A and B are shown apart, each in its own frame.
Chain A
Amino acid sequence: MCRCLHLIFAAAFATHAAPRGEILPKSVTLATPESRQQLLLTVYENQVQRDLTRLAQWTSSHPAIAEVDPAGIVKPRSDGQAVITGRANGVEATVTVQVKGAKAPFAWSFRNHVTPVMTKTGCNQGACHGALAGKNGFKLSLRGYDPDLDHDVLTRQSLGRRVSLADPASSLILQKPSFGIPHVGGKRFDRNSLEYRVIHEWITAGAPPPSIQDPEVTALEVYPAQAILAPGAEQQLVVRAKYSDGRVEDVTRWVKFTSADEGVATVNDTSGLVKMTGHGESAITLWYNSKVLYSRVTVPYPHQVADASYPRRNYIDDHILAKLKSLNLAPSKPATDSDYIRRSYLDTAGVLPSAEEVENFLNDASPVKREKLVDALLEREEYVDYWAYKWSDLLLVSSKKLRAPAMWDFYNWIRDSVKANKGWDQFAREIFTGTGSSREKGALNYFVLHKDPIELTETTTQAFLGQRLTCARCHNHPLEKWTQKQYYQMASIFARIGQKQGNDPADTVVFAKTSGEVLHPRLLRPLPPTPLDGIVIPLDAPGDRRVPFAQWLTDPKNPYFARAIVNRIWGNFMGRGLCDPVDDIRATNPASNEELLQALTRDFVGSGYNVKKLIRTILLSGVYQLSSEANATNQNDNKYYSKYIVKRLTAETLLDSMSQVAGVSTAFPGMPAGTRAMQLPDVRIQSQFLDVFGRPPRIICDAGERSMDPSIAQALHVINGETLNRKLSNPEGYPSLVLKLGLSDAKILDHLMLSAFSRYPAPQEKADLLAMLDKARVRNGTPQAQLDSRRQAIEDLFWAMLTSKEFMFNH
């Protein structure tokens, strides 16, 4: 159970006790004369916490050792120990502060102080001197990712005017930003500010350069890491950096703060003060020195929820229910059998159940009929088609860059892998460790599709790790932890992939070369191949560099690999990834239910990366079996799975479903008759319908390539276009068939409802629709004219149902 829940329960049980106060951080050591620490006084009452920091009276037991100012910032005076007390609204709490080295010599470091000052005040941002071309001849590295270069630029260029050791106060890097002389970028800090003093004292000390002995930031910590707050509340955040020498320092003042959801919370980037603007959860992301972290702030919905429960089926439901309770959201009622069969077919295999399958399922009295349904579904060929299509989207299978036979080889390898339910680790290993003929090993077409190490780096990290690395190609990622160095270390893994022509034009022989490097564009040398945050492979290590990469990739401890695919698969069924978009699982885009994502990932790794088992677990969870109909509390929730999220059918599923109900398949150029859209290996096979409804072009690895937005063009296409109209008027189709069979309107309606909506018509609905058909009936004229008119009416009924929301959506 998550920590925030403990807090809620703790608070709930203690309703009658005095509100409990607490000071964060709980331990404070001030290790240098310049160390400082912002303290937070927090009170927990009525399920929420309140930040009293700005109201509090702050006192120190020993002001001569540690002094605290009215804002709650404590500073060292002399070595020793002091107790700091914060009091507000009848709440009182204390914290012990250790002071060490208060009189020790101190020097500002270029890497750890001057660069963060320049970053926070914006000197080196993309808009100013951090631009690729610099600004007015002065160029710094973007957000300070290259302190050595910046030091050089500041101290060696421009004849010592930027940094004047002889007269520090005349240095341009003080004069300009403090507006002592005009500065196009405006005033960035005051002459009395700490920022000014840091730079001034650093220059006075001789402007020492960064050194490899400088402690490095190893991690960040944030207080509070999560908070449940009242509507409109304000919460100060405190960020501390941990350094490689063991020191911990408050760096709040230099952190870049961003809110992930400004509809829920905004944050003042200068102060780190969060203001809650709505209901729900938002992450406040923190960036300092290419390290990132987030704080999760929550305002529960203002509902009175009596019974926030639904039938628990497996561990997924524990995490969902905990989240719903914490947000005051009540889950929707359980889904009907009709809802369940339709949605599980569409989400699992991309097809509708037939009328007969629906009837059998509805009439089945077995208590485990849903389990039986899922087990049967997972063994169908359509299941294989559906997931082969999905992974073909992911791996960009297309004849745009591959010759047709190569495209087929790639596709067939993917399809065979799905059919065999190959572990996701094995699937990846076959791509990354394979050598030889691409005709024999279809997976190798991955390297034919992506020829250079840059493309391989970006597609691989996106497809298999859910990480977007592109920014780091030219500089450290400005909002993420990825550095340019890590990018080129990653690229080095793919630097020695050889390719030569095989036995036929579509055959490529992929092999490991013994030479070849990718140069880091600034350092102009290759970096030792290293997977993201992984172990360094020496540049002179013999053998295929991809092999240790694949080991790292599929190691159970890899923090991204399993998480990325689990999130994708979850998103397929639940309408939204736990991290959303599904392929953006960076550290600064936290999951809407982190505990659940971790539990799913653990289960998946433990099962041997068994995709089918994960799918089964999701399909049989209670949350997947909730109705899509909202209740009074969850109309606006589309994030925490309090109801099944309604989603339009994908282009391919919609077309196939129309074909199925109309009984007329779609003809695709170059494909055998009867091929379904979901069986197409290649998105270059022409289809206006699929294009209008947003099939992805498979050009860049990005889940957003697939468009799910409704448009007028789609409406026009089903109203006027050839695709659906031709199916309905086809003499071989079901509208013709039901007439030939001489079925009554009532029978036709029942059958159509079952095959299109997976349900029987409701009595009133049936009466209304039959009256509608009856009214349309022509009772005079020739028998042929009567027949024609009945046929048209049946066609029109089919059309009305196949374009209705109940059909076009999965619900």
Chain B
Amino acid sequence: MNAPARATRSRYVAPIPAFADAFTAARSSLPGKEAPAIQDWRQLHFDRFLETGLPTPRVEQWKYTNIARAANVPMALATRPNVGLGDVQRYFTGGPLARRLIFVNGHLASELSHVRGLPQGVRVESLGKLLQDEPEWSARALGGPAEPHSFADLNAAFLQSGAWIELGDGAVLEHPLQLLFLTVGQPAAVMAHPRIVVRLGKEARLHLIETHIGLAPGHCLTNLVGHYELGEKARLTHDRLQLGSAGTSFVGLNRQRLAERAELKQTLATLGGALVRNETDLHLVGSFVEAQLNGVYMPIGEEHVDNVIRIHHEAPDGHSDQFYKGVMDDRAHAAFAGKIIVHQDAQRTNAFQRNDNLLLSDDAEISSKPELEIYADDVKCSHGATCGELDRTALFYLRSRGLDRAQAESILTFAFAAEVIERFVDPAVRKLARECLVARTPGGAGLSDLL
């Protein structure tokens, strides 16, 4: 991420004044409004957001996603509509003993949430409450500005809620913790800015489920920032499911830092949302780290999905694996940019990356950019990217077994994407993802007995 220097200033567009209006309007209602520490912290980031502006496709990182067009529109902070237990229950995952924080349009719905009875050393807090109750500590803990990032800065300025998850050394949360983000479309264009902070101490273990569900269509932008710190030998399993509804957009930036022998297994499925962008900035700062990133995206209609991944191997003997698959139908457009950066000290790194894509329609598009940047010599790095139609021989095989063409195509398309879905650790997430996948597969109705 390069700071937009003077010469490249023109690649960013200045934010429209509506942002400043929204900021002024929201200041008095955002958590931590009385505390100067939080006020300053917000102002600092907002000023930088104004300074940086919004990226246009001329910025390399945003080459395939015109976010300025989608985000540089007047938006107010989303209000909290009423959502009952009946509306959300079907999205509960992680089993009966899972703990859950539920957010509606970026506001914590504490009456639906359940995080009590946590074991020793495990702390799960509402970030909004922390900003309100412990402003000085929060401002310090959330940290000052790193390098500028339009959306991360915007998130800090408008930060309203989120989760603070901290596991001390050796702490283990046996059952999954679900963060359920619900977006309920509203007549006017709105935005929400939640944040997730996860800190795992030495040998701590957490299974985090992050689900983003669109309950009603409408223009709503969710701008999520995630900070993940994994201590020595810590283990994080992270299942992420994105089921946005029509008109809802999502921009997410995840920054992860993994210490020695830490393990991360993340699986991400994007199965809905007008515009979804997931940016991942993964740093392997300790040696012998294992990181696995799985992803699947299946945009239909005019949806747009963009995955940007940067994996920094900063220490020796790290192992990273990216496995992303995409199926594009109708007029959908998907982009994948995965970059592996192996620093000079990161000898004996193993880094792999796969990106396979399937286009189902003549108007769908895929842009893939698998990238390697390597400064160490004793490494094994490889990447592969493919794009094409269904395998003719596989089709022929199925047809020779008596399936008609449409059935055979549905089965193969489903199987292509389902390979990633199977990597979800939580069975309920897997089931939910499979249902959405079937709904999006052409001729999927005939596949329901596969569920």
Partners in one complex: no
Which A positions have Cβ atoms within 8 angstroms of B? none
